[in-house]
Amino acid sequence: MTRKFFLPLVFCSVALAQTSTPAPPAGAPVSARALQIHNSAIIVDTHADTPQRFLDEGFDIGSTDPNDIGHVTLDKAKRGNMGAEFFSIWVEPLSNQGHYAQHTFDLVDSVYEQAARHPDRMMMAFSVADIERAHREHKLAALMGIEGGHSIENDIRLLRDYYRLGVRYMTLSWSNTNEWADSSGDIDDPKVQHHNGLTDFGKQVVLEMNRMGMMVDISHVSDKTFWDTIATTKAPVIASHSSARALVDAPRNMTDDMLRAVTKNGGVVQVNFFNGFDDEDFRKAMVAQKKDQDAVMKEYVEKRKAEGKTVTYVDLDRIEHVAKVAGVDHVGLGSDFDGVSGATPQGINSAADLPKITQALLDGGYSAADIKKILGGNLLRVFGEVEKVSREMQAGTSH
Ligand SMILES: [Zn+2]
């Protein structure tokens, strides 16, 4: 999730603007060739903030309400051929102080409850094999990733409990530095006590995740935490929703050196769909007006529209940059659906629009095989490798 604290206001204002002026389709309509590739792929998205809607709004993922502004429903997922979604278990660190675990459990429960309500179209999934089975059964595979290491309350046993409940990745920090991992979000704040990356306990957390088979997610962490993690982990890492700093100079984005390190590590960078990470002007406006970000967001979207420009992300800059620097085997999709405050690129209004990404990749000259890797194959490879390292560590055969 990105800047969740101003979500409701902006989400509504932008959504209203969008419904009153229907967005033109981004680029050409999806061709038969693109659809054929798209529909034969197992598509995996690694970051959607929908659980907050389940819990806070009582939102039903089976909703077919045409006025609903959400990005992820079973219907939209089906139309976009979404195979697997990692639902984000994100505990806001200030308002939940003192009960991080409780809120983590509540969010986990909310995902299970949705799956129980729609057993014909959705199933809980905990492995690569589960994702493949869901694909064969034409169901959405629902997985879970914890966003922010503060959820474990500095307790390795809670970490293990989360694994047992089905959590298959954890972002070591969200925008807040916790007691064992520095975050990019507050790394310049002198009031926050930092650790120069990962503490010894933080390294122990990474190794325990390796041992259990929980993917280590480096989105949001500080640069030093990233490098400490790369030096510690025995399994490939993921960035569940990140972008490239070469395009937008935000601390949360990854430098080219970091992208290359993920290549060497065998991991994957799942590219974030959020415009703010892709547009330097927008980022500067956000930084300058921290207190009034909803207004900035609205103004940005309106300005782009007045200029006749789309609020882009189907222009593929980000995916292409990561593919160029890290390699096509190390890039994927981390949408940040339902967490980007209505600031998705024009033409991508929900999971139903995912075929447009395939069309854009095809237009960009990518082969069908490479497109399938980007859409989910790379993440499945990394997840499979993480499972393998886990088996080796548990058997005591790891190097
Ligand atoms: Zn996030």
Q: pLDDT tens digits, residue range 346-397?
A: 667 788 889 988 998 998 899 999 999 999 999 999 999 999 999 999 999 7
Helix crossing, 223-232 with 256-265: angle to 10°? 20
Other C-beta atoms within 10 Å of 120: how many? 10
Please tell me the distance from the alpha carbon of residue 166 to that of residue 212, in angstroms, as a whole number.
Answer: 11
Query: How far is the C-alpha of 61 from the C-alpha of 44, rounded, in Å?
Result: 17
Which stretch of 47-61, 95-109, 243-257 has the lowest confidence by average pLDDT? 243-257
Task: Read off the pLDDT band of 45 (50, 70, 90).
Answer: very high
Which of 22-26, 191-195, 303-307, 337-341 holds the top average pLDDT? 191-195
Q: Where are the alpha helices (DSSP H) in the chain?
A: 7-20, 32-39, 50-52, 74-79, 100-117, 128-136, 156-164, 200-212, 223-232, 256-265, 280-288, 293-306, 317-326, 354-363, 368-372, 378-395
Helix (H/G/I), strand (E/B), else coil: 332:
strand
CA–centroid distance, residue 396 to ligand 1 (Å): 34
Identify the residue with better confidence: 151 or 339: 151
Rg (the chain; Cα; Å): 19
How many angstroms is it from 217 CA to the middle of ligand 1? Answer: 11
Q: How far is the CA of 252 from the centre of ligand 1 (A)?
A: 9
Cβ distance 62 to 115 under 8 Å? Answer: no
Tokens 């993480």, located at residue: 386
Mean pLDDT value across the chain: 86
Å from CA of 153 to ligand 1 middle: 19
Which tokens go with 252? Answer: 């949360």
Distances (CA, A) of 300 to 7, 303, 388: 16, 5, 45
Mean pLDDT of 51-79: 94
* pLDDT value at residue 287: 54
CA of 241 to the centre of ligand 1 (A): 7
Cα of 219 to ligand 1 centre, how many Å? 7
pLDDT the model gives residue 337: 84
Q: How far is the CA of 45 from the centre of ligand 1 (A)?
A: 13
* Each residue's pLDDT tens digit, 57-68: 999 999 999 888
How far, in Å, from the CA of 394 to the mean position of ligand 1?
A: 31
Separation of CA 147 and ligand 1 centre (Å): 7
**How remote is the CA of residue 220 from the centroid of ligand 1, in Å?**
7
pLDDT of 18 reads: 33
The answer on pLDDT for 303 being more than 90 is no
